[in-house]
């Protein structure tokens, strides 16, 4: 089950996603291809610090399940994996 984040949190999350997307576009060409992997590593570390490794594993397992079913998170509209976004 996928839950929507609180409206104010959703606006903040969308703004953060937009700023990150703009920053990635501004990277040198030789770094841009590595941005996704770099962001994944940063996100995994941040989520693990926020919710602990066990819950982070469950969150990423849910994300893996969504991706395996062809549900790709869009750049501008986040998919919430739990009742709050970690």
Q: Is the pTM of this model over 0.85?
A: no
Report the pLDDT value the prediction gives residue 5, as an integer from 0 to 100: 55
Report the pLDDT value the prediction gives residue 14, as an integer from 0 to 100: 83
Tokens of 55: 């819950």
Q: What is the 3-state secondary structure (H, E, C) of the chain?
A: CCCCCCHHHHHHHHHHHHHHHHHHHCCCHHHHCCHHHHHHHHHHHHHHHHHCHHHHHHHHHHHHHHHHCCCCCCCCCCCCCCCCCC
CB 7 within 8 A of CB 78: no
Report the pLDDT value the prediction gives residue 81, as an integer from 0 to 100: 65
């Amino acid at each position: 089950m996928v839950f929507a984040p609180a409206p104010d949190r959703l606006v903040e999350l969308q703004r953060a996603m937009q700023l990150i997307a703009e920053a990635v576009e501004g990277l040198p060409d030789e770094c841009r291809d590595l941005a996704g992997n770099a962001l994944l590593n940063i996100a995994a570390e941040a989520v693990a610090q926020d919710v602990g490794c066990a819950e982070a594993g469950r969150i990423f397992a849910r994300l893996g399940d969504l991706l395996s079913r062809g549900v790709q998170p869009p750049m501008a509209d986040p998919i919430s994996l739990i009742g709050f976004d970690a």
